[in-house]
Structure 1
Amino acid sequence: MTQDRRITKTKAAIREAFFSMLKENKSQKITVTNIAKRANIDRKTFYLHYDSPEAIMDEFYKSLINDFVLILEKNDFFDRSFDVFALFESLNVLIQRDIDLYRQIAKMPSYAFFWEEIKDIAKSVAIESMFEGLNIQKDELELYVEFYVAGLIAAYLKYLKNGVNLTETEVVNILSTASFYGFQKLLQKE
């Protein structure tokens, strides 16, 4: 079933208004009134499409996770053992669509659930791909994977928050190397 073009156009204007305000806005709460004014609609029209500004983010978040899974599938991430490079290469494809927006989302604790979902996807793939080949209890493997993936996502978020002066390729290479060698690679340089 196709949606009426007016509805599609109005929802797009609402989303565009919300996300442009999100990129500009460092600390102020984004209200329905602000969104409606920016989208050139009234509040009633906003409420015909969304319950709240959070509903816009929820819709966006669900779409992003679906897109991320499709990109992971395209990069054969699910068909091989846990590959950090493929994970972050896929994440970079997604994020490069609007890096400024993702940098802002990375800085906002209220949107941490997005990064938790990314982490959960990576953890489940890692556990599934490694469990059969290791002689280890599943609970033990889950702790290893939690430690490993949480660190990778935290490091990537540091990059997104402009916390490091490196390119995305350099970050991905460092994370891939660190995940494979740990501190051993650094200790070998001494």
Structure 2
Amino acid sequence: MEKETTDKRAEKTKANILQAFIALSKEKEINEISIRELTEAAHIHRNTFYLHYTDLYSVLSEMEKTMCCDVKDITEKYTPKELRDNVETVTAEVFRYLYDKREWCILLLRTRSIVSSGKNLLESVFERYLAAYPKSFDRNSLEFQVQFQYCTAGVLGIVRYWLEKDFSQSPEEMAGITGRLLVEGIQGATQLQ
């Protein structure tokens, strides 16, 4: 019972730190935020912060890790074949999640390189998706590696565009476009529905 209470207290402290971090990041750049400011905004002692994190970048790393795990959990509900056959449905779930976590997305994409903050997230989806293809499929081939990089950069570009437009399009609309681009390429995405 004591461990459960301690865990809940740690979760609440981390949530307060994250909330304060997001609020401060709306006012200034990350490199302008001090630990003292953050701990005051989170209403915690400085030492409490250091029990959980080493610096502000470790907070970002934990956010990114959490998002990767959450997206992986979304995809694990589907078999690899279901992922392959229902790209737009799965993509819509992921875009709804990103919309729900839009403050996190904004913070991560503003402060981290687009490649580092999105590649891990997408790889967690693509790994399951690729399991639907024959084992003879050569993932180390130049063609596959180039296509993977192209798709990763494209999806991250779509998310960044959506962010820059203040998430004004619905997650379903963005997922539909993204799914068609991934499956059918630029020609499929431009066809009228």
Same fold (TM over 0.5): yes
Structure 1 range deviating more: 93-102 or 103-112: 103-112
Whether contact under 8 Å (1:32, 1:53) holds in the other structure is: yes
- Equivalent residue for 2:98? 95
Name 1:84's counterpart in structure 2. Answer: 87
For the pair 1:114 / 2:93, whether they are aligned, the reply is: no
Of residues 22, 25, 42, the one that matches 2:27 is 25
Q: State whether residues 36 and 43 of structure 1, in contact with CA within 8 Å, keep that contact through their aligned partners in structure 2.
A: yes
Residues 96 and 171, structure 2, Cα contact 8 Å, conserved in 1: no
Note the residue ranges of structure 2 that are not aligned, 5 or more in a row: none
Please tell me whether residue 149 in structure 1 is matched to residue 149 in structure 2.
no
Task: Indicate yes or no: 2:73 matched with 1:73.
Answer: no
1:115 and 1:153 in contact (8 A); partners too: yes
Count residues with an aligned counterpart. Answer: 186
Using structure 2 for the length normalisation, give the TM-score.
0.75
8 Å Cα contact 2:151-2:182 kept in structure 1: yes
Q: Aligned partners of 1:47, 1:181: CA distance in 2, in Å?
A: 48
TM-score by length of 1: 0.76
Deviation at 1:64, TM superposition (A): 1.9
Identify which of 28, 48, 53 aligns with 1:50.
Answer: 53
Q: Write the distance in 2 (CA, Å) between the matches of 1:114 and 1:13.
A: 22
Instruction: Please say which of residues 159-168 and 111-120 is displaced more in the overlay.
Output: 159-168
User: Alignment RMSD, CA only?
Assistant: 3.1
CA contact (8 A) 1:81 1:126 kept: yes
**AA in 2 matched with 1:113:** S
Structure number with higher relative contact order (C-alpha < 8 Å, ≥ 6 residues apart):
2
What pairs up with 1:151-166 in 2 under 5 angstroms?
151-162=154-165, 166=169
Kindly state the Cα deviation for residue 69 of structure 1 after the two structures are TM-superposed: 1.2
Offset from partner CA, 1:101-144 (integer Å, 9 cap, x none): 3234333335752311112223333433234486x775133332
Aligned to 1:40: 43
How far residue 96 of structure 1 moved from its aligned partner, in angstroms, is 3.0
Q: CA deviation at 1:95?
A: 1.8
Aligned to 1:130, the other structure's residue is in SS state coil
Moved more, 167-176 or 82-91: 82-91
